[in-house]
Amino acid sequence: MSLSKTDLVNKLQDQLGFSKKESAHIIDLVFNLIKDTLTRGEKIKISGFGNFTIRDKAERIGRNPQTGEQITIPSKRVLTFKPSELLKDDVTEKYKHRIDQAGQEDTSIPAKDINSKSLDYFKDEERGV
């Protein structure tokens, strides 16, 4: 399952009582702000969630896996995301009980209900605590 933009709009509408149109406008504003900031090459840091950064990758020599022929891979700019330790801890805590000794996940086991440290941290930051 994945979370779509429509899902975000619906959650905003349900949880905060905005109209669907207002919710969609807010989501669009947030995404546009993130896109504009990243396209300027600036970093985005969301406390308790993670960092989005732009990184330049140099031109390099690669190999065509089908022919073995050497090819030049041009330089490019890439977007990276590094989750915060709090977010990583939340994900681990919520799902670690589903992993068996061999490292396989049993998705039939429901995710554990947890008290989200990353969400609590974000709420504290919002209140200036």
Whether residue 78 is contained in a domain is answered as: no
Whether residue 9 is contained in a domain is answered as: yes
Whether residue 82 is contained in a domain is answered as: no
Residue that the structure tokens 């061999």 belong to: 102
Of 51, 47, 52, 50, residue with least CA distance to 120: 47
Structure tokens at 89: 């801890």
Mean pLDDT value of segment 112-122: 75
Whether residue 36 is contained in a domain is answered as: yes
Whether residue 14 is contained in a domain is answered as: yes
Q: How many domains does the chain have?
A: 1
Whether residue 114 is contained in a domain is answered as: no
Whether residue 27 is contained in a domain is answered as: yes
**Residue 119 scores a pLDDT above 80:** no
- pTM: predicted TM-score of the whole model, two decimal places: 0.70
What are 67-108's pLDDT values in tens digits?
Answer: 999 999 999 999 999 999 998 988 888 888 888 889 888 888
Whether residue 90 is contained in a domain is answered as: no
CATH number of 23's domain: 4.10.520.10
What are 19-49's pLDDT values in tens digits?
Answer: 999 999 999 999 999 999 999 999 999 988 9
Range of the domain at 38: 1-42
Please tell me the least confidently modeled range out of 73-77, 117-121, 124-128: 124-128
pLDDT: which is higher, 1 or 38: 38
Mean pLDDT value of segment 52-80: 95
pLDDT at position 72 is 95
